[in-house]
Structure 1
Amino acid sequence: MRTITLLMALLLFANCKAQVENMERPVITPEFEKLNLEDYKDGLIITESIGTAAPYVGVKFKIYSYEKINNEVSFILHGTLEEGLNSSFTATNSYYSIGKSYYPNKNIKMKYMRSSITQNILIGKQYFFNQEGKLEKTVDHDQGWDFSYEKVIEYILARKSPLVREDIYYGAEITQEGKEKKYWQLILDTQKTTNKSTWEIIKLDAMTGEILYQIEFEGDRIYHVCMGDNNPKALERVIVADKTLKK
């Protein structure tokens, strides 16, 4: 049996218009929680399925699903009692999502915050619990990233680059890179400021925000393009030579 996690099911907002001055992180605490399915009975959908993967091959089980998506929030609950359930909550126009996982006994397993713009960025403290509800581990995802997620968003908006574009399938791509030298890597659409079909790859130092690399491409952009290698038609203009390359 394989549970579909909320990490992939969460809907990204296509109208992220919140202002930076109103950016405020949601609060998550290390306190114990227990999931009560009765709270969602009015919209809870239960479907039956048969496991196809070990150790649940041939086992009948129930999948629990609940969604609340409107002009104010996006909340999704999904999972099984055998493997546990996951939930994800995002306020409309928020830069943040809150995710929670629960054990089969419905005790909290994990709490975390992540970017609502890109799913692979965890923010702030992540809490891990054992099955009895005792807090066992805390991971601070801000450590080593003094140039914070919020500062990255401010940088992108100051460049007048869209975080999300409604007319095409891509917007800003934000990733955290590096081991010895940590940095943010951004792929930004710059058509608004150049009035051309342009986009940039930028690397920002994780501690200071210094531009470690900046290159502009002009031409057709391919989704998840890497340095233009998959887009030979793109014209390249190096603005800041790459300081992250090992000498």
Structure 2
Amino acid sequence: MNKYILVLFFSLIALQCKSQKLNPENMNTIVTPEFKRFDYKKIEDLKEKYNSNINLSSVRKDSTADFKFTKEYKDYQLLEYDKNGNLHQKTILKEDNSVEIYQKLTPFLDYYERYFSDGNIAVKGITSWLGFGIGKQYIFTKDGKIRNKKDFDEGFKFTFNDLLNYCNENEIDLASECEFPHRVVKTQDNSNKKYWIIEYCNSRLGRIDSFKIDGETGKVILKHSENFPRKGVIDKTNE
């Protein structure tokens, strides 16, 4: 990870939805087309220590976690925390020696890297646990050449920051806990018209509220609500 990502993380992390935004001008600094390799040394050292300590972790004097290193089935997982005890980065070492890294940018967005089993970079991009990507994504061949570049923001003049503003104005709290997971996806119709789809688990009213929003203008095309349990929602695939 480069120093720009670390600076961005500490400047953007926030607890309230109003401040959970990413400056588009910073995205080209975060996701770059340069080739890189994963350094296995830290993980291998932890694996060696883990064999004699099933609950390998480090806790600061103020009782906040520094890191936790565990084994989930056949995969090793390293969780690293900031000084406030918030999860900052998750590194997963797979059984085949491939690696996935998720570094927190905002509560909704992660910088994501995946490495081949030989340590060469495979994928770089910004993703969300809600179900979508933003900015540029680079996919590499095993010998380090760019195989594909995708711009997730193409055709979306109504950005994720705009979508967050809409959510704030309409009491849609995507960070809240609920019986069903919240979901936000990007989709398009047969004419390549872009849309945002929101599936919001409204625990207060006991229903799933779904919204289809024009990706260019931000106009709400369709609203739909269905009481729990969910029987189906509006389209999530190409129309």
TM-score grouping bracket, smaller chain normalisation: 0.5 to 0.7
* Matched residue type, 1:17: L
SS, match of residue 94 in structure 2: strand
State which of 168, 185, 188 in structure 2 corresponds to 1:157. 168
Q: 1:147 to 1:130 in 2, by over 3 A?
A: same
Check whether the contact 2:75–2:92 (CA below 8 A) recurs between aligned residues.
no
Give unpaired runs (5+ residues) of structure 1.
1-15, 48-61, 229-241
Q: Distance in 1 between matches of 2:20 and 2:93?
A: 31
Check whether the contact 1:160–1:190 (CA below 8 A) recurs between aligned residues.
no
**Number of aligned pairs?**
191
State which of 110, 113, 116 in structure 2 corresponds to 1:97. 110
Check whether the contact 2:179–2:201 (CA below 8 A) recurs between aligned residues.
no
SS, match of residue 160 in structure 1: coil
Q: 1:23 is matched with which residue?
A: 21
> In the TM superposition, what is the alpha-carbon distance from 1:77 to its structure 2 partner?
1.9
Q: Which has the higher helix share?
A: 2
Q: 1:43 is matched with which residue?
A: 46
* Matched residue type, 2:139: F
Q: 1:71 is matched with which residue?
A: 86
SS, match of residue 43 in structure 1: helix
Identity value in percent: 19
1:186 paired to 2:198: yes
Check whether the contact 2:22–2:161 (CA below 8 A) recurs between aligned residues.
no
Q: Distance in 2 between matches of 1:213 and 1:222?
A: 21
* Matched residue type, 1:124: G
TM-score, reference length from structure 1: 0.64
> In the TM superposition, what is the alpha-carbon distance from 1:83 to its structure 2 partner?
6.0
TM-score, reference length from structure 2: 0.66
Q: 1:79 to 1:198 in 2, by over 3 A?
A: closer
1:87 paired to 2:114: no
Check whether the contact 2:179–2:203 (CA below 8 A) recurs between aligned residues.
no
Q: 1:133 to 1:18 in 2, by over 3 A?
A: farther
1:188-227 maps to which residues of 2 (within 5 A)?
A: 188-189=200-201, 196-197=205-206, 199-217=208-226, 220-223=227-230, 225-227=231-233
Q: 1:64 to 1:17 in 2, by over 3 A?
A: closer
Give unpaired runs (5+ residues) of structure 2.
1-13, 52-73
Q: 1:197 to 1:128 in 2, by over 3 A?
A: closer
> In the TM superposition, what is the alpha-carbon distance from 1:190 to its structure 2 partner?
5.2
1:126-185, CA deviations, whole angstroms, 9 ceiling, x for partnerless residues?
11122222333211111122212222222112211221323x333532122333233112
Q: 1:186 to 1:19 in 2, by over 3 A?
A: closer
Q: Distance in 1 between matches of 2:89 and 2:171?
A: 27
Check whether the contact 1:198–1:216 (CA below 8 A) recurs between aligned residues.
yes
Q: Distance in 2 between matches of 1:189 and 1:214?
A: 14
SS, match of residue 172 in structure 2: coil
Q: Distance in 1 between matches of 2:182 and 2:75?
A: 34
Q: Distance in 1 between matches of 2:125 and 2:189?
A: 22
Q: 2:54 is matched with which residue?
A: none
Mean CA deviation greater in 156-165 or 201-210: 156-165
